[in-house]
Amino acid sequence: MKLNIALLAGDGIGPEVIDQAVKVSDAVAKKYNHEIKWTPALTGAAAIDAVGEPYPDETHEVCANADAVLFGAIGHPRFDNDPSAKVRPEQGLLKMRQKLGLFANVRPTFTFPSLIDKSPLKRERIEGTDLIILRELTGGVYFGERGRKDDGDTAFDTMTYQRFEVERLARKGFDMAMKRGKKLCCVDKANVLEASRLWRETVQGLEKEYPEVEVSYEFVDAVAMRLIQWPKGYDVIITANLFGDILTDEASVISGSMGLMPSSSLGSNVSLYEPIHGSYPQAAGKDIANPLATVLSAAMLFEDFELQDEAKAIRDVVNKSLAEGVVTEDLADGGKSYKTSEVGNWLAKNIQ
């Protein structure tokens, strides 16, 4: 297979972890006789510095014409610490999601046998956890009407959803549940929010089309508690943009490190694959960042192109690196640690 992949390294540790994912992907492509064409493009603070825009038109063209997008991270402290900044790296991410139509964020949460005791949660609570949170990505409060009034003393952000936005995400959730444990949980705040009531009635209307799927409805505050108490009770969770943003970060600690969890953002024509961690600017250029989440995001990319053996090869070599202690300092527990680039080299070599 020939794949044309847009490569958006972004900011902070993004370029370093992306480099390792490219090494591993190229090793997989060589082993299984595929051809990958990588097309780099600017985004985030790097793009602002270069052209004044966090998601330039040239970058959009590269992404729109690609088969998939592999993305690192965006963000820089000089923007975080300046509330008056008119242009911000994160605006590029929102613009990219909207222009590419990336409406569904897929966040798997699972545990690694060799790292089970690194989680802040007890082994008996998390062992065997295997869930997916499907977050709506192009609607809700992040894209609704916003502004200030009363001379700037009152601020508002509006959570707006259209039925079709909820339905297309819910169908993705039902389809995933059918391939997994056939359990779907719709997470909302329908006791308070009208937008959540639209979510609930839309999902209820789809239940008859998926009679094999056991559907439940829970309030987001209850799920925030139960994810910690009983994560094994969930299979596929679907939820709105804001709720998903919070719950996915909460769920990420179950594995023991945000540096381990991959994600994808699905669109109708092109999808994007990225680690769930941020740009971690304090570590940028030091060759110490954990690249495994980005490498596992590449595995999700291969899987979505029905290249199951290739995806499994990546997951297997990542598990091998964890079991053999070929890890960056965040996972080394004071023992021997490896540089970001060394981990990438080891993974690529062991794929071959």
Q: Which CATH class is domain 1-101+276-352?
A: alpha beta
- Asked if 326 and 346 count as a contact pair (C-beta separation under 8 A), the reply is yes
Quickly count: other Cβ atoms within 10 Å of residue 8's Cβ: 30
pLDDT, residue 303, reads 94
pLDDT (mean) for 170-187: 97
pLDDT band per the 50, 70, 90 thresholds, residue 334? confident
Residue 117 confidence (pLDDT) above 90: no
Residue 333 confidence (pLDDT) above 90: no
Q: What is the domain partition of the chain in residue ranges?
A: 1-101+276-352, 103-266
Average pLDDT, the chain: 94
- Measure the CA–CA gap between 100 and 102, rounded to whole angstroms: 6
Of 75-89, 127-141, 302-316, give the lowest mean pLDDT range: 75-89
Helix (H, G, I), strand (E, B) or coil at 334: coil
pLDDT, residue 139, reads 94
Binding site for substrate, by residue number, is 97, 107, 135, 221
Dihedral-angle region of residue 260 (phi above 0 means left; psi in -120 to 50 means alpha; beta otherwise): alpha
What does the block give as tokens for 182? 């056939």
Q: Percent of the chain scored above 70 by pLDDT?
A: 100
Helix (H, G, I), strand (E, B) or coil at 333: coil
Q: Percent of the chain scored above 90 by pLDDT?
A: 84
pLDDT, residue 49, reads 92
pLDDT, residue 94, reads 86
pLDDT (mean) for 258-283: 91
pLDDT (mean) for 125-142: 94
The string of DSSP letters for 198-236 reads: HHHHHHHHHGGG-TTSEEEEEEHHHHHHHHHH-GGG-SE
Binding site, by residue number, is 97, 107, 135, 221, 245, 249
Q: In this predicted model, what pLDDT tens digit does every residue of 224-241 receive, in sequence order?
A: 999 999 999 999 999 999
pLDDT, residue 268, reads 85
pLDDT, residue 80, reads 74
Topology agreement, domain 1-101+276-352 and domain 103-266: yes
pLDDT band per the 50, 70, 90 thresholds, residue 81? confident
pLDDT, residue 76, reads 86
Look at residues 275, 281, 289, 282 and name the one whose alpha carbon lies nearest to residue 344: 289
Residue 157 confidence (pLDDT) above 80: yes
Q: How far is CA 140 from CA 13, 89, 238, in A?
A: 29, 20, 14
Say how many residues make up the chain: 352
For the chain, the straight-line distance linking the first and the last C-alpha, in angstroms and rounded, comes to 18
- Asked if 182 and 213 count as a contact pair (C-beta separation under 8 A), the reply is yes
Residues annotated catalytic, as ranges: 142, 189, 221, 245, 249
DSSP code for 305: T
Topology (CATH level 3) of domain 103-266: Isopropylmalate Dehydrogenase (3.40.718)
Q: How far is CA 168 from the centre of its chain?
A: 19
Q: In this predicted model, what pLDDT tens digit does every residue of 22-65 receive, in sequence order?
A: 999 999 999 999 999 999 999 999 999 999 999 999 999 999 99
Of 81-85, 132-136, 270-274, 308-312, give the lowest mean pLDDT range: 81-85
pLDDT, residue 107, reads 95
Q: How far is CA 229 from the centre of its chain?
A: 23
pLDDT, residue 114, reads 83
Q: How much is the pTM?
A: 0.90
Look at residues 262, 335, 324 and name the one whose alpha carbon lies nearest to residue 20: 262
pLDDT, residue 83, reads 77
pLDDT band per the 50, 70, 90 thresholds, residue 164? very high
